[in-house]
Structure 1
């Protein structure tokens, strides 16, 4: 089911400009009893203000009636949410939840956001059918699945109940397919991890084998030269810095003789 049941269908937005009183700070401004800034004669100061409006219709009757209201009057206030009128508060919260994403998109200059599976990926509707559904702000397969019974007969498309059932079946099959894909991805990931672990084991075994070979082979020629030079230095015997192993050993042997 949809995350939040929609109460209204958004039909459009527009903007007007009005001269409205200015809210002030009682600690810094001269304000009247309602908190609006007043001039020296006690009259409210006015300013030109943008006013956003929305036109919407009840979800169960999108073509029969509609309402146009100021956006600021539709936003649930903190005072209302804290009041004892829980029923009114709940209605306003749900109504605003139906309007807010469309309003935010309109303010940003974008189309209304689509939360769900776009109608364009569903073979169950043609382009013309999708365009008709969009007149009722139904833009996703999930929204077709969740069309309330009271609205079905109002949408001017044939066999709407069958279409709603088809949407539910499509989404169910899609979820099964996606679950299978996720399972296949997990199996592939596990196989890659096993292969990486095997490669690391083989690399470690090769490194250990090389280390054992070096240990069993004894010191290298360079290590032996360094040892002979150290012995010659300790005895104060001069040698050429490019002298080879046999020369260095001969110098030591001559000294011992």
Structure 2
């Protein structure tokens, strides 16, 4: 599905190289130069091979513009930059890194690069060959096609690019409408489920109230009062009776006592 939040850059790929870099030394135990790098017996800097990760990206607003390839370590916002006074630079670096970081982590784990938007493969409006041609221009999503400027349309070697751009816009609009309709159906189903639960609770409450009324009906109250009165008369006469005896049994005991 399309992402409503537009990324700052489009990730085109990553690669890795190996470089030899000077090693930082321990001033107490190593020979070091003025910059603190470790020196060997001949007074030359000690070098070690390290991995260097690179990313190639293009501006999201102009995927057909010039590509940029930079070291990953130069793109990570440092704490110094985050706490710096140049707020505009900080916002730019954070926004750029937020687009690069998830793709970089996926690449490091050997996974496919995530696409910010609707991949061309999900769009029936282009064939596999057309999608491959669009990727040559760093156009990876339907949203990229929709957002192409007039000057960019003329540079792409595909027929009827304006119609294709209009088709991309219609596809995105229809997809959003379908998503909205799906959310509406989900809301309706949720409301129906809540209503059913409420009706069931009301039925249970009504049954409980009916049972309570039955147990505390006036007839029951009168019956309990009669039993209490009979017990009091038997107690006055000193007649013993079972504590669970009903009214009829108690009346019979009174008649015998009389």
TM-score of the pair, normalised by structure 1: 0.66
2:14–2:107 Cα contact (<8 Å) kept: yes
Structure 1 pair 233/54, CA: closer, same or farther in 2 (3 Å)?
Answer: farther
Cα distance, 1:111 vs structure 2: 0.8
- Equivalent pairs, count: 249
2:146–2:166 Cα contact (<8 Å) kept: yes
- What is the match of residue 161 of structure 2? 160
Distance 1:30 1:83 in 2: 38
1:6–1:94 Cα contact (<8 Å) kept: yes
Distance 2:230 2:44 in 1: 106
Distance 2:56 2:37 in 1: 31
1:139 aligns with 2:126: no
Cα distance, 1:200 vs structure 2: 2.6
Cα distance, 1:12 vs structure 2: 3.1
- What is the match of residue 183 of structure 1? 184
Distance 2:149 2:8 in 1: 10
Distance 1:76 1:105 in 2: 19
- What is the match of residue 120 of structure 1? 121
Cα distance, 1:110 vs structure 2: 0.8
1:57–1:67 Cα contact (<8 Å) kept: yes
2:142–2:168 Cα contact (<8 Å) kept: yes
1:15–1:53 Cα contact (<8 Å) kept: yes
Cα distance, 1:185 vs structure 2: 3.1
- What is the match of residue 170 of structure 2? 169
- What is the match of residue 3 of structure 1? 5
3-state SS of paired residue (1:110): coil
Cα distance, 1:141 vs structure 2: 1.8
Give structure 2 stretches of 5+ with no counterpart. none
- What is the match of residue 197 of structure 2? 196
TM-score of the pair, normalised by structure 2: 0.66
- What is the match of residue 214 of structure 2? 213
Cα distance, 1:106 vs structure 2: 0.8
Distance 2:196 2:52 in 1: 63
**Residues 160-214 of structure 1: per-residue CA shift (max 9 Å, x gap):** 2321221112111222232233233333433333343333333322322222222
